[in-house]
Amino acid sequence: MIDSRVRWWQRLLSYFTEVSLQTIEGEYNPSLQVSLVRNRFQLSTENAIYSFDDLYLNFSRAFQQVTLPSDDSSLLLLGLGLGSVPLMLEQQFSRYYDITAVEFDESVISLASAFTFPRLKQKMHVVHADGEIYVQSVENTFDFIILDLFLDDVIPPYFESREGIEQIKSILSPDGMLMINRLYRSGSDKKRTDRFYKDVFLKVFETGRHLDVHGNWILLNR
């Protein structure tokens, strides 16, 4: 169980400093580190935080500002991280979905299986696959799609293209909700996200909007 991985003194110490628990080389990511910070599990690379339990604030803040799909809706999570998104949805927002999580890096799946899945009541169907290939080949649609795909701090090019976003739209149910996580911190991040939002996203989702969640934008299809 998870509790056996962390000593009581590590949990206490984590309120004062970051406590490193495990560092591994990912298949496609640079060095992946699981740390305990404020008694939460954090997965990070050198340049990005992939997961941070309920303190993964870009999604926590976004979920608070929208009407989430009802229980038993189908959720496609592109980019698993350590599993912060399903953990928050279950523990903070009392949402239980039929979740399919797609993750390219088997090392990330292994870490999520060790540190987060044992804390979930709901089971997830985890697919070890390239997100681009998955969305091009899947035949069913989803009520809720969350796109949180990064290699370090870079979004795969396909999911910055109009073709990629059109494909996402094609597997989203007619009344479904889409959330896309985008960096909006540095000048280059802001320029890239502004360009993507105006030239790609709003061309596909004309009624789309964005939520500024302090350092990131969450793009919504409605």
The reply to whether 120 falls in a domain is yes
Mean pLDDT of the 4-30 span: 85
Query: Do the strands 31-37 and 40-44 form a parallel or antiparallel pair, or are they unpaired?
Result: antiparallel
Average pLDDT, the chain: 92
| pLDDT confidence band for 4 (50 / 70 / 90) | very low
In a domain? residue 179? yes
More confident residue, 124 or 209: 209
Among residues 51, 41, 33, 44, the alpha carbon closest in space to that of 11 is found at 41
Range of the domain at 171: 54-220
Closest CA to 83 of 51, 41, 36, 131: 51
Residue 173 located in a structural domain: yes
How confident is the model at residue 63, as a pLDDT? 96
pLDDT at 170: 98
Asked if residue 18 is part of any domain, the answer here is: no
What pTM value is reported for the model? 0.91
Residue 84 lies in a domain: yes
Alpha-carbon gap, residue 38 to 222, rounded angstroms = 34
Q: What 3-state DSSP class applies to 41? A: strand
Per-residue pLDDT tens over the stretch 145-168? 999 998 877 899 999 999 999 999
User: Residue 64's pLDDT is what?
Assistant: 95
Q: How confident is the model over 66-95, as a mean pLDDT?
A: 95
Do the domain assignments include residue 44?
A: no
**How many domains does the structure of the chain reveal?**
1
pLDDT level of residue 54 (50, 70, 90 thresholds):
confident
Q: Which pLDDT value is given to residue 190?
A: 94
pLDDT band at 66 (very low <50, low <70, confident <90, very high): very high
Domain harbouring 68, CATH code: 3.40.50.150
Decide if 175 is inside a domain: yes
Return the ∠ at Cα 144 (arms to 139 and 145), rounded to 5°.
Answer: 70
Q: Is residue 189 part of a domain?
A: yes
Q: So what's the pLDDT on residue 2? A: 46
The pLDDT value recorded for residue 139 is: 93
Sheet holding 31-37, edge to edge: 19-25, 31-37, 40-44, 49-51
CA distance 215 to 190: 9
* Pair 177, 143: CB distance under 8 Å: yes
